[in-house]
Amino acid sequence: MVKENLLKVLNDIREIEKSCGRKEGSVKLLAVSKFHSYESVIEAFNAGQLAFGENRVQEADEKFAKINEELGEGKTELHIIGSLQRNKVKTAVKIASVIESVDRIELLQEIEKQCAKIDKKIKVLFELHTGEDSKSGFPDVESLKAALQYCADGNCPHVIPFGFMTMAPFTSDEAVIRKSFSSLRETAELLSKEYPEFSMKELSMGMSGDYRIAIEEGSTEVRIGTAIFGERDYSQGVK
């Protein structure tokens, strides 16, 4: 089932790219495997999917240790997409190649500290709060800009600012969702101009329920869980 779902989503992404006049392949797929088993990840990998997103560090660490054991180290790419506590950063930077959910300067400081220890550079996305009822992300453009300035001042040599991320509000009101995505795109355009020293091309936006709108609004990466792996069973805990 995972394979069929994955191929359907990929096909859908290509169709949407075409229908809104975007270049084929300009939108990447991040398969969000949180709450799903390691077997599901292997199934997706066997169907050609390489990039996976997880929002809880401990779950990701356990699952991807097994996956690396089975497939060999470095075959998959892991992105941390959930809000990150300081005490989880050490493990997060060890296992991930991108942290998509940077939402405060203190987190940047901890990422820098832990990356320096293991001599690793890591890509980060700056998460912006763009909708009324989403709680995660920098609360406004000013605070996000302060974090970028902190990097521009040379405080984080191991951090590579790579783009922006947002979650649209949970609503069926398409106009509200579209506004959330377009405001991230506008912010990204503005800040990319202000900080040309960083190549912040990534716009991570769009989930199972709203990725069409996100692609129409310029997303370069959609983060999709349910449409690939099915509903999450929160009662089972970590598998």
Strand 51-54 and strand 77-80: the pairing is parallel
The H or E element spanning position 142 is helix 141-152
| Segment interacting with ligand PLP (CB under 6 A) among 10-18, 57-65, 176-184, 206-214 | 206-214
Nearer to ligand PLP, 161 or 206 (CB): 206
Task: Report the residue number, 2 or 81, with the smaller CB distance to ligand PLP.
Answer: 81
208 binds ligand PLP (CB under 6 A): yes
Closest CB 24 distance from ligand PLP, rounded Å: 22
Q: Which long-range contacts (CB under 8 A, 24 or more apart) does 203-209 make?
A: 203/163, 203/164, 203/165, 204/30, 204/81, 204/100, 204/125, 204/163, 204/164, 204/165, 204/166, 205/165, 205/166, 205/167, 205/168, 205/181, 206/181, 207/32, 207/167, 207/168
Cβ atoms of 191 and 144 within 8 Å: the answer is yes
| Candidate ranges 63-71, 105-113, 147-155, 219-227; the one touching ligand PLP (CB under 6 A) | 219-227
Q: Of 159-198, which residues contact ligand PLP (CB under 6 A)?
A: 167
- The single-letter code of the amino acid at 149 is Q
Q: Applying CB under 6 A, does 224 fall inside the site for ligand PLP?
A: yes
Query: Binding to ligand PLP (CB under 6 A): which residues in 28-87?
Result: 32, 34, 55, 81-82
Q: Closer to ligand PLP at the Cβ: 109 or 226? A: 226
Instruction: Work out how close the CB of 166 gets to ligand PLP at its nearest, in angstroms, rounded to a whole number.
Output: 9
Within 8 A by CB and 6+ apart from 170, the residues are 133
Q: Binding segment for ligand PLP among 44-52, 168-176, 182-190, 217-225 (CB under 6 A)?
A: 217-225
Q: Name the residues that contact ligand PLP, by CB under 6 A.
A: 32, 34, 55, 81-82, 167, 207-209, 223-227
